[in-house]
Amino acid sequence: MPWAAQLLSVACVSVAAKMEECQVPALSEFHAVSYDFDSASIRRMELLVLSTLGWRMGAVTPFDFLPCFSSRAHPHGGAGAGGHVALKAIGFIFATAEGSYTSRSNLLSLSLSLSLSLVSDIQ
């Protein structure tokens, strides 16, 4: 495998570890089969991957779905069309954050509940 593909592989594994693990190994601990890449090279490739794919290094939260819900609730826009939906959604998110919806595995459940709640209020 060419060195560039191996560097890309190491960088992707490093990014995945940063998104999933609580304690991330140092970049110097990631090794390729035939090459020994330095931390600076891996970091540059990580940034290239992230910028190419348009990723952000942050957790996805229910707040990330608000623009989608607002546009679905008021597809034609209008003055302050999404404001009511956004305020209601924010209240709903904070109200459920104290419950069992705070784990990553239940993010879809929270999003679905939020959309159903908003749709029923609009109708």
Is 66 found in the same domain as 35? no
User: Residue 40: is its pLDDT beyond 60?
Assistant: yes
pTM: 0.47
Residue 71: CB atoms within 10 Å: 14
Give the closest residue to 118 by CA, choosing from 97, 94, 96, 87.
87
Give the closest residue to 63 by CA, choosing from 43, 36, 91.
91
User: Residue 74: is its pLDDT beyond 50?
Assistant: yes
Is 96 found in the same domain as 45? no
State the average pLDDT over residues 77-103: 64
Is 80 found in the same domain as 35? no
Query: Tens of pLDDT along 2-13?
Result: 899 899 999 999
Structural domain of 38: 3-53
Cβ-contact 24, 57 below 8 angstroms: no
State the average pLDDT over residues 93-122: 61
Total of domains in the chain: 2
In single-letter form, the type of residue at position 15 comes to: V
Least trusted range by pLDDT, from 21-30, 48-57, 64-73: 64-73
State the average pLDDT over residues 33-40: 89
Q: What is the mean pLDDT of the chain?
A: 74
